Structure 1
Amino acid sequence: MIQDSIQLPDGRALDYNIFGPSDGRPVLYFHGTPSSRLEPLLPSVYGIDMIALLQKHHLQLLSIDRPGMGFSTLHPEGTFLSFADDAAELLRHKNIRQCPVLCWSGGGPYALAIAHKYPELIPAVFMIAGFTIPLSTPGLFEEMKRNKYYFASASNTPLILEGILNYLAKKEITRSFPQWIAGTPEVDYEYLKDPKHLMQVASITLQEACRYGSTGAVKEAAGYFNDYGFSLTGITQPVFYWWGSEDVEIINQHPHAIEQQIPHHAIYYKEGEGHVSIYIRYIEDVLEKIADSLS
């Protein structure tokens, strides 16, 4: 694992980690929210050797801290499309002419944005339970479960949410919340009920995202209500999407939007999987399909 950064044309820093063999085929990786460039380490919390998987499939992930999270500089006016510019600048810096993009959860709109804006750079999009349409889409927000309060707080009471996240990011986790409070399905709760595992997950995601404060994370969360700035129908590359039937974080309107609006797609519906479980259990399947697409 190598950590590095580049200076963007406007002077901001864009930080990223490289996972996988030095001669591996490059893949952009966009993390969830709030999270960080360290997210590809998540499977290792549960005994899955991600580096070995990347070696096996000869892939190299370029995992980026989005603006205001981890070590990347906040972009006060940032959008999904402006982050596409940031990521494209990284590819130019690395002399990468073309590579697919992989994302999980909140990384979805960013992956779709770079595919839309830079089709010559991105031959395919691979999404694990990602957002595909704005939270302002009629009927979508009402169907969301407890995570909708997080996004609503980011939009309506951002300073309060910033304070809560700053507190949680510094707090040591010594016990887990009961399942009924956590609001997760049993299949996901199995991955989050052990305080040791939960602390490791938090260190990779929330704590690293809020390394220098939570303003970036909260700004991003509010941004999911905004228009993406592009149409899904304009994405001509193939989009591969994994979704679990027990996912209460990303509801089925998101994969359905891919089916209905993107001409070239493959949706992998996984019965009984949740938001976390599908990432842990199917990451090798995803990497294998990425490798196949590059063959």
Structure 2
Amino acid sequence: MGSAPPIPATDWLPDDSETESFSLPDGRRLAYATYGDADGYPVLFCHGTPGSHVIARLLAEPARQHGVHLIAPDRPGIGNSEDASVTLEDWPDDAAYLLSHLDIDAAGAVGFSGGGPFALACHRLPEIERIALLGSSGPPSVGATGRVQQFVGALSRHAPWALGRIFRLQRWVAVRRDPSYAVGFVAEEIPETDALAADEVARIVRADMLTAMARGPSGIIREQRLLSQPWPFTLEDISVPVSVFQGQSDANVAPSTGTAIAQRLPDASFEAVDSDHLGTLTAAGNDALAAVQRRTRV
């Protein structure tokens, strides 16, 4: 299949001006965007899969209110970040270089959906003091996912070419359809926030979907495969405090996943959220940012 279709100029899609980038030691470009309070406590935001830095816009106002400098990188192959065979084990190195580039020596981390495992992988970084998970995927040993996610995971392992066609088709349709089309993959209804009306939330979700596949689907396919395989670390290895927020109407990540993750973490809190997948991010994002504020580590 040819290159992705052009995105209409009228679409609300961030361009290069929204992100900054820097070069990693291997020469790759890693892109990131920042939101909230530029002078606040740094929090690394790990977007979902598929997803991009754009979804962090939903937490821009809560970040500002909490005095949080929200840093949202696009992982390799996503948005403006160059592709590479980066694994869950490798990602903390990229994250560490980003924090060093920004002269940050202490930070929290928040992971949404498929970004949860990437946030947890950063537990080994001395800079990361606390972690919060919002509707996070779990390791195969505990993480129950919906049928669609199971199907996607199987395709990523056995027929990545077919999954690539599916993602390209979804992007093609998303460009031409109302933003609610993209929301349908992550929510039963479009949520509102204190700062954003439902139609703006929908536009952000569609822009997130389109940005995720701006370089094609290879990065997303690799991450789907990684998340369907055993992780390179165990939940019991994680010593930093972790706050787990799990939607009880989540059709993408089963409610039991959040409970299982919290039970296996040595230092965890759990909060059930009366919402679906996207609603967990919008409803509990404020609490997640508060949970990762700097505290004295034991």
* TM-score, with structure 2 as normaliser: 0.83
Query: In the alignment, is the contact (CA less than 8 A) between 2:188 and 2:276 conserved in 1?
Result: no
Q: Tell me the amino acid that sits aligned with residue 158 of structure 1.
A: P
- The offset of 1:292, in angstroms, is 6.7
Question: Equivalent residue for 2:158?
Answer: 156
Question: Equivalent residue for 1:285?
Answer: 287
Counterparts in 2 of 1:176 and 1:240: CA distance versus 1, 3 Å: closer
1:25-59 deviation per Cα after TM superposition (whole angstroms, max 9, x unaligned): 11100000111111112x3xxxxxx4332222111
Counterparts in 2 of 1:259 and 1:7: CA distance versus 1, 3 Å: same
Residues of 2 paired with 1:20 and 1:198: CA distance? 20
Residues of 2 paired with 1:251 and 1:218: CA distance? 21
- The offset of 1:145, in angstroms, is 3.0
Query: In the alignment, is the contact (CA less than 8 A) between 2:131 and 2:292 conserved in 1?
Result: no
Counterparts in 2 of 1:230 and 1:73: CA distance versus 1, 3 Å: same
Query: In the alignment, is the contact (CA less than 8 A) between 1:174 and 1:195 conserved in 2?
Result: no
- The offset of 1:92, in angstroms, is 1.2
Residues of 2 paired with 1:268 and 1:168: CA distance? 33
* TM-score, with structure 1 as normaliser: 0.83
Question: Equivalent residue for 2:8?
Answer: none
Residues of 1 paired with 2:200 and 2:293: CA distance? 33
1:236-255 deviation per Cα after TM superposition (whole angstroms, max 9, x unaligned): 11100101211121113422
Question: Equivalent residue for 1:241?
Answer: 244
1:19-58 to structure 2, matched below 5 A, reads: 19-41=35-57, 43=58, 50-58=59-67
Residues of 2 paired with 1:121 and 1:287: CA distance? 16
- The offset of 1:21, in angstroms, is 2.1
Residues of 1 paired with 2:94 and 2:132: CA distance? 19
1:40-80 deviation per Cα after TM superposition (whole angstroms, max 9, x unaligned): 12x3xxxxxx433222211111101011111111112x211
Query: In the alignment, is the contact (CA less than 8 A) between 2:30 and 2:76 conserved in 1?
Result: yes
Counterparts in 2 of 1:13 and 1:2: CA distance versus 1, 3 Å: same
SS at match of 1:51: helix
Counterparts in 2 of 1:19 and 1:217: CA distance versus 1, 3 Å: same
- What's the % identity of the aligned pairs? 26
Question: Equivalent residue for 1:47?
Answer: none
Q: Tell me the amino acid that sits aligned with residue 99 of structure 1.
A: A
Question: Equivalent residue for 2:206?
Answer: 202
Question: Equivalent residue for 2:195?
Answer: none
Counterparts in 2 of 1:213 and 1:294: CA distance versus 1, 3 Å: farther
Query: In the alignment, is the contact (CA less than 8 A) between 1:172 and 1:199 conserved in 2?
Result: no
Question: Equivalent residue for 2:257?
Answer: 254
Q: 2:167 aligns with which of 160, 165, 168?
A: 165
Counterparts in 2 of 1:96 and 1:147: CA distance versus 1, 3 Å: same
Residues of 2 paired with 1:183 and 1:12: CA distance? 31
Question: Equivalent residue for 1:128?
Answer: 134
1:1-295 to structure 2, matched below 5 A, reads: 3-41=19-57, 43=58, 50-76=59-85, 78-115=86-123, 117-118=124-125, 120-134=126-140, 137=141, 144-170=146-172, 171-174=175-178, 188-191=187-190, 198-204=202-208, 206-270=209-273, 272-291=274-293, 293=295
Structure 2 stretches of 5 or more lacking a match?
1-16, 192-197
Task: Compare 123-132 and 246-255 and name the one that shifted more.
Answer: 246-255
SS at match of 2:115: helix
Number of equivalenced pairs: 272
Residues of 2 paired with 1:35 and 1:132: CA distance? 17
Structure 1 stretches of 5 or more lacking a match?
44-49
- The offset of 1:224, in angstroms, is 0.9
Counterparts in 2 of 1:33 and 1:197: CA distance versus 1, 3 Å: same
Query: In the alignment, is the contact (CA less than 8 A) between 2:108 and 2:293 conserved in 1?
Result: no
Residues of 1 paired with 2:64 and 2:150: CA distance? 38
How large is the RMSD of aligned CA atoms in angstroms? 2.6
Residues of 1 paired with 2:122 and 2:293: CA distance? 20
Query: In the alignment, is the contact (CA less than 8 A) between 1:103 and 1:128 conserved in 2?
Result: yes
- The offset of 1:293, in angstroms, is 4.2
Residues of 2 paired with 1:286 and 1:175: CA distance? 26
SS at match of 2:32: strand
